[in-house]
């Protein structure tokens, strides 16, 4: 008995030695640079936006990357929503991380890095709508959504049809010259109206302070011009000032249209309650974070439960999820094409161009995406979703509204 036991122990020890001698499964780590805004105008939404980025990386590392022999590392940098700050950070980011991808916040990041990334061969993935000044062929910066002008135009068409308006929809735009992105937002809507005078008429574009406090005079002027919709795709302060002006002037039947970063929930908090935004709208080419059961909502609840993600179900988290999922799916496609240990920024960009990204791959957070060399966003097949406040509740007003064609401005 003792002899047999001794032999079993000796055999088990030999197996253990052999197992220890075998190499561990190889794993390659690649880095993503996460540009955020912790001290600038969008600092209030960064907890959810950056939290969603981190939750998505944690999920991908465990459930996708591990099986491919890849791990993604990510580090945050405070760009302060300032082009000069992002530009000054970039050489250090590149030297420290050697990233295969960058996650950006908004227009300043695009302005700062648009000319540098092609030479550095690192693609940047945005969560926002695109900008006319970045609408160029052979892009290295990618948006999952069309331009703000496209998203606004889709809303104009939907609103006009829904309300049964026979002539052109009369639109006022409130923007600011403080940011190139804000100027571009106005130009996109103006371009659609100029090319489609039977569908939309811009009664006036108001350029005001970046965060206005009183717009009563300006709003009164566009009311007299017959505005039916006020397009505000800038920030919550502009929404609050406009809504207060409409209330003061007794014109609560004129709808305000917002975007994702200044939408109904964010603007509702800023104004003191979403009830004040009854009948107003937000529009964008990604999932709407209502309480309704969707694949997108299921994904958020899964990462909270399984990966202890500190992220609420909000527009900001949807933005963080959308850009990170596109970046990770592109890395995934690159690894399959060139090998898990040979992924580079250039390989990630090439794979994105050659790979269709169906909506299921982003858990319904984005529509089907097909990128080409023509633009930094898919130029065909895009749709938007529309949300509103109805009877005091945040609800989806329309889904998969087609985005009309707009010529480049």
Q: What is the pLDDT of residues 229-258, one digit of tens each?
A: 999 999 999 999 999 999 999 998 999 999
Residues 87 and 100 both lie in one domain: yes
Map tokens 């010259």 to a residue. Answer: 177
- Whether the CB-CB separation of 282 and 276 falls below 8 Å is answered with no
At residue 287, does pLDDT exceed 50?
yes
Q: Is residue 188 part of a domain?
A: yes
Residue 251 pLDDT: 96
- Name the more confident of 269 and 18: 269
Distance, CA of 171 to CA of 228 (rounded, Å):
6
Q: Tell me the whole-structure pTM to 2 decimals.
A: 0.88
Q: Is residue 409 part of a domain?
A: no
CATH number at residue 98: 3.40.50.2300
Residue 25 pLDDT: 55
Q: Is residue 118 part of a domain?
A: yes
Domain of 359, in residue numbers: 28-146+293-378
304-338 per-position pLDDT tens digit: 999 999 999 999 999 999 999 999 999 999 999 99
Residue 297 pLDDT: 97
Q: Is residue 9 part of a domain?
A: no
At residue 22, does pLDDT exceed 60?
no
Mean of per-residue pLDDT scores for the chain: 93
Residues 226 and 128 both lie in one domain: no
CA dihedral 377, 120, 72, 109 (to 10 degrees): -50
At residue 301, does pLDDT exceed 80?
yes
For residue 227, give the 3-state DSSP assignment.
coil
Q: Is residue 369 part of a domain?
A: yes
- Compute the average pLDDT of residues 72-76: 98
- Compute the average pLDDT of residues 367-383: 94
Residue 270 pLDDT: 93
Counting the structural domains of the chain, the total is 2
Residues 139 and 166 both lie in one domain: no
Residues 135 and 272 both lie in one domain: no
Residues 227 and 316 both lie in one domain: no
Residues 348 and 263 both lie in one domain: no
Distance, CA of 6 to CA of 62 (rounded, Å):
41
- Whether the CB-CB separation of 87 and 112 falls below 8 Å is answered with yes
Q: Is residue 65 part of a domain?
A: yes
Residues 139 and 152 both lie in one domain: no
Comparing 40-44, 209-213, 372-376, the range with the smallest average pLDDT is: 40-44
Residues 95 and 155 both lie in one domain: no
Q: Is residue 395 part of a domain?
A: yes
10 pLDDT band, cuts 50/70/90, is very low
Q: Is residue 22 part of a domain?
A: no
Residues 235 and 344 both lie in one domain: no
């Amino acid at each position: 008995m003792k002899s047999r036991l001794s032999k079993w122990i000796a055999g088990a020890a030999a197996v253990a030695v052999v197992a220890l001698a075998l190499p561990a499964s190889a794993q390659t780590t690649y880095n993503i640079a996460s540009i955020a805004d912790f001290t600038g105008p969008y600092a209030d939404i960064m907890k959810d936006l950056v939290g969603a980025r981190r939750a998505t990386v944690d999920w991908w590392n465990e459930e996708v990357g591990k099986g491919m022999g890849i791990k993604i590392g990510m580090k945050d940098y405070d760009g302060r929503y300032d082009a000069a700050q992002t530009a000054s950070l970039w050489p250090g980011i590149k030297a420290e991380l050697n990233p295969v991808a960058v996650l950006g916040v908004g227009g300043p990041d695009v302005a700062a890095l648009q000319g540098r990334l092609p030479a550095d061969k690192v693609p940047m993935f945005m969560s926002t709508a695109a900008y006319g000044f970045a609408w160029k062929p052979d892009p290295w910066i990618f948006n999952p959504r069309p331009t703000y002008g496209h998203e606004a135009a889709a809303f104009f068409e939907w609103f006009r049809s829904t309300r049964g308006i026979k002539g052109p929809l009369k639109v006022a735009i409130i923007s600011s010259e403080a940011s190139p992105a804000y100027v571009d937002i106005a130009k996109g809507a103006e371009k659609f109206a100029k090319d489609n005078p039977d569908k939309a008429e811009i009664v006036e574009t108001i350029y005001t302070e970046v965060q206005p406090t009183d717009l009563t005079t300006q709003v009164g002027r566009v009311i007299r011009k017959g505005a039916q919709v006020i397009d505000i795709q800038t920030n919550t302060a502009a929404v609050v000032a406009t809504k207060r002006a409409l209330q003061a002037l007794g014109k609560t039947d004129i709808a305000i249209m917002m975007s994702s970063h200044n939408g109904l929930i964010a603007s509702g908090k800023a104004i003191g309650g979403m009830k004040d935004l009854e009948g107003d709208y937000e529009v964008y080419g990604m999932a709407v974070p209502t309480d309704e059961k969707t694949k997108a909502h299921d994904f958020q609840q899964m990462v909270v439960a399984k990966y202890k993600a500190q992220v609420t179900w909000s527009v900001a988290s949807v933005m963080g999820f959308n850009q990170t999922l596109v970046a990770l799916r592109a890395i995934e496609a690159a690894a399959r094409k060139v090998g898990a240990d040979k992924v580079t920024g250039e390989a990630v960009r090439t794979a994105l161009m050659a790979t269709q990204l169906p909506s299921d791959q982003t858990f319904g957070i984005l529509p089907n995406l097909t990128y080409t060399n023509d633009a930094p966003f898919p130029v065909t097949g895009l749709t938007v979703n529309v949300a509103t406040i109805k009877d005091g509740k945040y609800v989806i007003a329309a889904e998969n509204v087609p985005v009309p064609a707009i010529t480049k401005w």
